[in-house]
Structure 1
C-alpha cells in the first residue's frame, strides 16, 4: 500500500504558508499595536522616571541633599509598584485605566499600566546608575563652583549616559514581553495575535511566526541599544 506521509507533509507546509500569507494584514496590525505601546510607554517612563530617579539619588544618604525620611517613603512606594506582577497590576488599576482612556480593553488601555509600571522601573535604574558614578565627579564639580542643578544636568546625567542607554535597552526588552502578556486581556499587539490564533485556534505555525517576530524585535532593540551605548561611552 503506498505511503501518504510525504504528500501530507507537503500539503501541510503549503497550507501553513498560505495561512501566514492570509494573516499578514493582521500580523502587521499586531506589530503596529506593539510598537505603539512601546513608543508611548517607554518615552513617558524616561520623561517621568528620570527626575524621580534623580530625586531618589539626591535624597539618598550618599546624594547631593540627603532627606532620609522623605527618601524612605518614596523608596518604599517605588518598591511597592515594582513588586506587582504586571498582569496583576493591569487588573488592579482597571478603574484608573477606565478614567484615563475611557476603556479597559485595547492598546490604549494597556499603555496605562505599562507606563505606571515603567516609571518606577526606570527611576530605579537612574538612581543606581548615578550612585555608581561615585562621589569623585560630584566633589570635582563642587570644587569648580557648580550648583546642584548644574551637577545633575551637566555632570551626572552626562557621565551616566552610556549606563542610562543600557538601562533603557533592558527596560524596553522587558516591556516587549509585558506588552505580549497584555494579550491575555485583549490588549492587542503580537501577544494578543499569538494567543488568539496560536493558542485558542491551535494554529502552531502562527504561534511560531509570532515567537520569531518577538525574538527579532528583541534582538533589534538589544543590538541597537548596545551599539548606541558604546558610541556614547567616551572612556
Structure 2
C-alpha cells in the first residue's frame, strides 16, 4: 500500500482547493458552538459559584444540582458523548450526520467545560470586592455583572481560549460523522485513501491554528491583566 500512496496522493498545488473549504467549515462549526457555549456556559458557571457556600446566594440543593449537570457533560469522552446523544440529535434535526449532527454534542461538552472555567475564574475574585458592592447597596445581579465578571475577565478570556481549542479538537473528531471540516478531510483523504499529502497538510493546519489561537488568547489576557 505504501508503494501506491505516491500514485494517489493529492498534488501539493491542489491542496488549498481542499483545505480552505475545510477550514471554513471548521471555523463555522466552532463559531456557532462557541456562541452557544458563551451564552449558556457563562451564566451556568456563575450560578455554580454563587450557589456555593462562597457565593452570593448559597443554596446547597441548587449548587449540587447545577454542578451535577455540568459534570455530566464532562464525564464522558467526546466520542462516547457524541454517540450517546445521537437519538437527541435525530429528534431535533432529523439527521445523525453532517454539520447539524455535530452541534448538539459539541455544545453539551463545550457548555459544561466553559461553566467550570467560568466558576474557577469567578472564584479568584476577592471576596472584599463583593462585600463592598453589597455594602454600597448593589443588587446581587449587579455585582455578578459589574464586579465578578469584570474582575474575572482575564481568567474568562483564558478559559474561552482553552474552550475554542477544545472545540477545534472536537470538530475534528466529529468528522467521523461527516460534519465536514479539517477532521473530515483528514479521515476521508488522509486515512481512508492513504493520501499522505492531505494528512500532513491537515496536521500542519491544525497545529498552526491552535498555536495562533493560543498566542492571541495569551496576548489578550496580558492586555487585560496590566
Q: CA deviation at 1:107?
A: 1.5
Instruction: Give the match for residue 29 of structure 1.
Output: 21
Give secondary structure in 2 for the equivalent of 1:196.
Answer: helix
Deviations 1:59-113 (CA, angstroms, capped at 9, x unpaired): 0011001001121122112112211111111111112112222211112211121
Does the 8 A contact of 2:8 with 2:195 survive in 1? no
Matched, 1:87 2:79: yes
Structure 1 unaligned residues grouped into runs of 5+: 1-11
Output the CA distance in 2 between the equivalents of 1:171 and 1:233.
20
TM normalised by structure 2 equals 0.92
Shift of 1:15: 8.8
**Structure 2 unmatched runs, 5+:** 1-5
* TM, length-normalised to structure 1: 0.89
Query: Contact 1:107/1:189 (CA < 8 Å) preserved in 2?
Result: no
CA contact under 8 A between 2:172 and 2:184: conserved in structure 1? yes
| Equivalent residues in 2 for 1:186-205, closer than 5 Å | 186-205=178-197
- Within the candidate set 42, 58, 70, 2:50 is matched to 58
Find the counterpart in structure 2 of residue 133 from structure 1.
Answer: 125
Paired residue total: 221
Using CA pairs below 8 Å that are at least 6 residues apart, which structure has the higher relative contact order? Answer: 2
Asked if residue 169 in structure 1 is aligned to residue 161 in structure 2, the reply is yes
Deviation at 1:21, TM superposition (A): 2.4
Q: CA deviation at 1:138?
A: 0.7
Larger radius of gyration: 1
| 1:148 is the counterpart of 2:140 | yes
Contact 2:97 2:178 in 1 (8 A): yes
Q: Which runs of 4+ in 1 moved over 3 A?
A: none
Q: Alpha carbon RMSD of aligned pairs, Å?
A: 1.7
